[in-house]
Structure 1
Amino acid sequence: SGLFHPEDVSDEVAQADMAPALLVGRMTVPPSLEDTWNRAYHEERLPLYRTIPGYIRARRFETVTREPENQPKYTTVHECQSPDVADSPEWEAVRKAQTPVWNTQVSAQMAFAPGSPGVYRRVFPA
């Protein structure tokens, strides 16, 4: 389905409450690269995050706002056991990892929204 990564996540995990910590990235890519970017994100980048201790899952979204020119088109919500996961050496290694399509065709064309990515911790329910 592409909603969750990994796709083989159990129903229990897929339907679980939101994680204690999130890293949220909001980004846009040129329309001509969207298919390639989405495929590289799903096939090259997201599998790498599974290797990070404390990483739970990712959920990806596409904007449905009526004024898309004012919003980043894509949002990825990485769910983690702690905000510290995003500061770990393993996270940094994945962020810098070289993958074929991502690094040669799409990453330079991607634009993050101001303040993105952001790391958040759950405040309610505690």
Structure 2
Amino acid sequence: MAEQKRRGLLHVQMDIAPEHEDELNTWYWQEHLPERLAVPGFLSGRRFEIVDGGPPKYLAIYDLEDVSVLDSPEYQRLINPPDPRTKEIGRMLNTNIRRVYVEIPRLEA
């Protein structure tokens, strides 16, 4: 029997010094997000900025067709090793919290 797909979310919170925000934003929109969305199984990506409260300032949420996409060769090629620009941005981040969530199946009554 085939393993059931487990729809998921990749949730990333990040914070960066104000003097590096423009660099982060340019990298994210021009490089990072398009690379992720080119990976089969990444359905969408959205980015948010906090309204109230402290850091981390930014939140990125990626909808995943299945959480196993994070183990796929296509995704692993992006992160192991990361490209030089991604490494540079990573060193600038004050906070980088990455979590993976799996969808809880709805129980039918």
Taking structure 2 as the reference length, what is the TM-score of the superposition? 0.79
Aligned residues: 101
| Between structures 1 and 2, the one with greater strand share | 2
Output the CA distance in 1 between the equivalents of 2:95 and 2:70: 17
Report the 3-state secondary structure (helix = DSSP H, G, I; strand = E; otherwise coil) of the residue aligned with 1:117. Answer: strand
Query: What residue is the counterpart of 1:89 in the other structure?
Result: 73
Output the CA distance in 1 between the equivalents of 2:27 and 2:62: 17
1:28 aligns with 2:11: no
Name the % identity: 28
C-alpha deviation, 1:124, in angstroms: 5.2
Deviates more, 1:41-50 or 1:90-99: 90-99
1:44 aligns with 2:31: yes
Query: What residue is the counterpart of 1:7 in the other structure?
Result: none
Query: What residue is the counterpart of 1:16 in the other structure?
Result: none
C-alpha deviation, 1:34, in angstroms: 0.4
Structure 2 matches for 1:78-117, cutoff 5 A? 78-95=62-79, 96-98=81-83, 100=85, 102-104=86-88, 106-113=89-96, 116-117=97-98
C-alpha RMSD of the superposition: 2.1
Unaligned 5+ segments in structure 1 are 1-19
Does the CA contact (< 8 Å) of 1:25 and 1:112 recur in 2? no
Bigger Rg, structure 1 or 2: 2
Structure 2 matches for 1:50-89, cutoff 5 A? 50-65=37-52, 67-68=53-54, 71-89=55-73
Unaligned 5+ segments in structure 2 are 1-6
The C-alpha deviation readout for 1:41-94, integer Å capped at 9, x for no partner, is 1101111112212111100001111x32xx300010011101111222322222
